Amino acid sequence: MGRDRPSLTYSGAMKPLLAALSLAAALQACAAGPASVVVHPRGAHATTASGQPIRLPQGDVRLVLSEYVIPAGARLPVHRHPHPRIAVVQSGSIAVTNVDTGETKTYGPGEMIVESVDQWHFGVASGAAPVRLWVLDPLPAGVASNVVLRE
């Protein structure tokens, strides 16, 4: 004989919490087994490359993940990003020059680039190999691109 159980409904705010708890339980179960999950932090930043505080768009966002392949020696045009942009160098090296500050920083494999917001800059594939980047753009709803070219 079965007992009547109350019906459970979850508000919109509870669903993400339940999903996070389920993920935590699954990861804990994996860690307890013969093959453990190992996390290697690759970077943590509170500011952009030029020292600006990181401020994500408010409201609904669309996450766009892109892979960039830049030929060795290629120079990107001078541009800016109206919204935050995070890149991770997969291979090669890239020198990014902030035109506004005059500062150049070179990034290599495994390094995270938190690009400047609304500051003109350009990149040069500075090594002998092409540069491969994973680029994440958290864009406000309705925004198609996070790149503005200098005319």
User: Using an 8 Å Cβ cutoff, are 114 and 86 in contact?
Assistant: yes
Shared domain check, 33 and 75: no
- Note whether 35 and 70 are same-domain residues: no
Same domain, 84 and 133: yes
Assess whether pLDDT exceeds 50 at residue 45.
yes
In total, how many domains does the chain have?
A: 2
3 inside domain: no
pLDDT tens-place string over residues 120-148: 999 999 999 999 999 999 999 999 999 99
- Exposure of 65 by Cβ count < 10 A (0-12 exposed, 13-18 middle, 19+ buried)? exposed
pLDDT tens-digit map of 84-103: 999 999 999 999 999 999 99
